[in-house]
Structure 1
Amino acid sequence: MTRKKYSDEFKQQIVKEAIETGNMSLVARQHEIAKSMVAKWVKQYKNPPVQKNNKKKAIDNSYYKELETENDKLKKLLGEKDLEIAILKDLLKNTNPPIEDKVSIANKWISRGYKAVLVLKIVGLSRSTYYYRISRTGLTKRVGGGRPCPGYSLDKANNRISDEQIKEWLTELIADEGYAYGYLKLTYALKRNFRLIINKKKVYRLCKELEILRPQRKFKPSFPRKIAKNRVITGSNQLWEMDVKYGYIAGENRFFFLLSLIDVADRNIIDYHLGLSCTAEDAVRVVQSALLKRQLYQGGNKPVIRSDNGPQFISHVFDKACEELGIEHERIPFKTPNKNAHIEAFHRLLEDECFSRYEFAAYAEVYEVVAQYINRYNKQRLHSSIGYVPPEEFYKYLRNGEKVLKITV
């Protein structure tokens, strides 16, 4: 029996889930590994091992640390001298500069990030004089801290719409009717098309995060978009669909994300990502894990992966990973969710049979409930589209040639 070797990336993902849920047993059961191993990885993450050095190395490290400290002091002194020379040059432009000029010069260097105490000492001004003068002349610029971003906006029906969903709508708009819109017109398009209550500043921020502000859209992607085409499916591992579902944790006032991957033929949820965030890297991990579970990682005919145009799937990270794995990635046309119907149907079931039945108090509860539901869906829930048998059972029938399948998607 060969021992399993787990990658550092897999260990980091397990540690992340264990810390987020606060339940190592649950995470261990979900990934079919020993709880002691999860505990060991978490301990290593919190207390990284200290390398034992010999006495000479310890002395060398101490010596170099002293040199580094001394070097920092010299750099600081040199920087202060350079600053003093620059300020004195400004002061020497006038033979006997008045207080107003001194205040202006001091404010110039303080606004560049230099310490006020040091600048005022070089200029020859007291702090009280400086602050009194700038309060009268209005040279100060007050910057408020502002409230933290809530991560959602409301629509006119008072529903909370997550920022990730808004980003997906923005991506759809610029690829369709709003291809020439700036952030201001995109704001009005969101209000008009999705009845969203949102201001132009937030739309600008989201566009900036997506890198779709107009001056930046001249960049040509190195991975051109492949439009999903009609396919005839006759067995498992020919076409997989992916999508992201958003949920809400009432007790913590934040969203969680479920990225699921379904086999169109046998309707199994082969793998999924559940977390408080969902990135392109998470989508790549789901694909890699699904290939391993279906024993397709090395060699064999790889499936086609179909997705919508969410931020996770249009990223260079995801497209590059698909290219390296030898997988064809196609994206459905905008406003055609029926081309991704199987994963959309699963997420509708998830909403009706799971999410709508709970008011989640904490992320740990979400993790447990969703994991149990997906396990029951795969192994126990009767599926009408595949002859009223569970997806895992139907997958075995297809693999053994006991069932014949032909569907057009």
Structure 2
Amino acid sequence: MGVDRSSVRYVSHRPDQAPLMLRIRDLAATRTRYGYFRIYILLRREGWFVNHKRVYRLYRDDGLSLRLKKPRRNVSAVNRDRQPAAAAANEMWSMDFVSDALFDGRRLRALTVVDAFTREALAIHVDQGIKGEQVVEVMARISSIRGAPRTIRVDNGPEFISKALDRWAYENGVTLDFSRPGKPTDNAFVESFNGRLRDECLNTHWFLSLEDARAKIEAWRRDYNESRPHGAVSLMRTRLHTMHLGL
């Protein structure tokens, strides 16, 4: 047949790519806005000795390219189990953004950070524009006082998928738990907190300047932590007091 015997008898010794492909799919599912190179970096951190060109080939062959994704409005929720709830203080933080405006129409944004176990508002950082580097500064400031958490729950906003936050989390042993697209309930604690912030503070104040907004929002945060009655906490204290009295 005119075929060399070595070609007929050749047995491929290439390693099985299935485990690597499964891990790439898992990372792409949990980091829905990460491209192949950032997934490659995560793989290297986990100990996969793999070339970025192989990651790119498998990434494209499986149809994971960001350019091939459907518009967000047509994307179904990622099939991923919800993470367990926090069991202790400072174990899990949740953070998100709230938007508002000054009296003259200039926009402002507030980064809210909440302890998912104690419901304490750890910080509300207010500025006219907040980038990933500023999110890292807030995280570093809180961590210098309380220590870094084990997990931070976030959505897939550009500030939270930034390289700056990803590097800070890696260097401090923090896991970024991204919400599933279309599932805001994955980060329900901070969503609930943001609703109270808007209802009790943002909707009841005029902000004359950025400094004025920072002062009023910080005053509300302190009152929220120190004086405001929290339904779940108050109910638990009432039950413990009743049990102590033997009623």
Q: TM-score, normalised by structure 2?
A: 0.62
Partner of 1:233: 86
Q: Which of 99, 107, 111 in structure 2 is aligned with 1:246?
A: 99
Equivalent of residue 136 in structure 2, options 284, 291, 314:
284
User: Which residue is equivalent to 1:371?
Assistant: 218
2-structure distance, mates of 1:248, 1:224: 38
Q: Aligned pair 1:269/2:128, yes or no? A: no
| Contact 2:152/2:174 (<8 A) preserved | yes
The equivalent of 1:255 in structure 2 is 107
Secondary structure class of the residue paired with 1:366? helix
Counterpart mapping for 1:336-375 below 5 A: 336-375=183-222
Structure 1 pair 358/375, CA: closer, same or farther in 2 (3 Å)?
same
1:257 CA drift (Å)? 1.1
Instruction: Name the SS for the 1:231 alignment partner.
Output: coil
Cα gap change, 1:389/1:373 in structure 2, threshold over 3 Å: closer, same or farther?
A: farther
| Structure 2 residue matching 1:323: 3-state secondary structure | helix
Higher relative contact order (CA 8 A, sep 6+): 2
Gaps of at least 5 residues in structure 1 are 1-174, 180-211, 391-409
How far 1:330 sits from its partner (Å)?
Answer: 1.2
Q: Distance in 2 between matches of 1:276 and 1:334?
A: 26
Tell whether the 8 Å contact from 2:150 to 2:173 is kept in structure 1 after alignment. Answer: no
Q: In structure 2, how many angstroms separate the alpha carbons of the residues matched to 1:387 and 1:277?
A: 36
Structure 2 unaligned blocks of 5 or more: 1-27, 44-77, 238-247
Deviations 1:184-235 (A, max 9, x none): xxxxxxxxxxxxxxxxxxxxxxxxxxxx9xxxx9753245699673304321
For residues 219 and 360 of structure 1, do their structure 2 counterparts lie closer, same or farther at Cα, with a shift above 3 Å needed? same
Q: Where do 1:169-180 residues align within 5 Å?
A: none
Q: How does 1:7-406 map to 2 (within 5 A)?
A: 220-222=37-39, 229-251=82-104, 253-294=105-146, 296=147, 302-387=149-234
Partners of 1:382 and 1:389 within 8 A in 2: no
1:242 maps to a residue whose letter is: M
Q: Is the 8 A contact 1:241 1:264 kept in 2?
A: yes
Amino acid across the alignment from 2:88? G
Amino acid corresponding to residue 325 of structure 1 in structure 2:
N
Q: Describe the shift of the 1:218–1:256 C-alpha distance in structure 2 as closer, same or farther (beyond 3 A).
A: closer
Residues in 2 aligned to 1:317 and 1:257: alpha-carbon distance in whole angstroms: 19
Q: Distance in 2 between matches of 1:362 and 1:338?
A: 33
Root mean square deviation, CA, Å:
2.9
Give the 3 Å change call, closer, same or farther, for CA 292–255 of structure 1 in structure 2: same
- 1:250 and 1:319, CA in 2 relative to 1: closer, same or farther beyond 3 A? same
Aligned pair in 2 of structure 1 residues 379, 388: CA closer, same or farther (>3 Å)? farther
**Contact persistence 2:150–2:175 (CA under 8 A):** yes
Whole-angstrom distance in 1 between the partners of 2:204 and 2:236: 24
Equivalent residues, number: 172
Q: Distance in 2 between matches of 1:331 and 1:239?
A: 13
Structure 1 pair 228–305 and aligned structure 2 pair: CA distance change class (3 A): farther
Alignment deviations for residues 26-62 of structure 1 (CA, whole Å, 9 cap, x no partner): xxxxxxxxxxxxxxxxxxxxxxxxxxxxxxxxxxxxx
Q: 1:389 and 1:368 mapped to 2: Cα distance?
A: 32
